[in-house]
Chain A
């Protein structure tokens, strides 16, 4: 049981490049989330998906797009990366009863 798996773990991008962060969970959870974490600011919600086929904006969605490919996978895409998107990105999932949220190990993204 791998839990929540994110790839890649580290990535350096040039300004204007695009990339996709992948996230998969094997716990049959309905809800999935993407957060970014910046120093001294805790985690901020980018996008979430309450169920397969639905996505909604969180606190800081600008510059990002998401895709809930199926129940297992929820990807985050940066179409044109900017230095302000340098951050640590976390994917998370939760079951219907909402008892515990599980996080991936994080993806360190640097935009130069």
Chain B
């Protein structure tokens, strides 16, 4: 059974800092791994998707890496801004498209 864990559960940083969010998964037989952003009271927005054959994906100030052998993914946010404040969730697809399993999320607060 796939289990996805995110560390830390919460993070508070001053504006401008570079930061790393961690995601680990127990079953390395994943199809892909995705990072999402969730604003309070809202649904989820997909940020980055890394296919199992890839090592990383980049979008603007965001960079996500994937190491299947160690069961880990990281989301790097460069030069954080108050607008980055949200909950970030990772999720792995395994067993085809049938099992998208989420971590509990990291709640990020970036203060001016």
Contact = CB atoms under 8 A, between A and B. Distances in A.
The contact size tier of chain B is 20 to 34
Interface stretch (A40-48, A61-69, A70-78, A79-87): A40-48
B80 interface: no
Contact of B43 (A31, A98, A99, A105): A105
B103 interface: yes
A48 B98 contact: yes
A41 B104 contact: yes
Contact of B97 (A44, A94, A104): A94
The contact size tier of chain A is 20 to 34
Contacts of A13: none
A80 B93 CA distance: 31
Interface string A88-105: 001010100011111111
Interface in B62-112: 89, 91, 93, 96-105
A98 B42 contact: no
B24 to A, nearest CB: 13
A23 B89 CA distance: 22
8 contacts: A31-B98, A43-B91, A50-B97, A90-B43, A92-B44, A94-B97, A94-B100, A98-B32
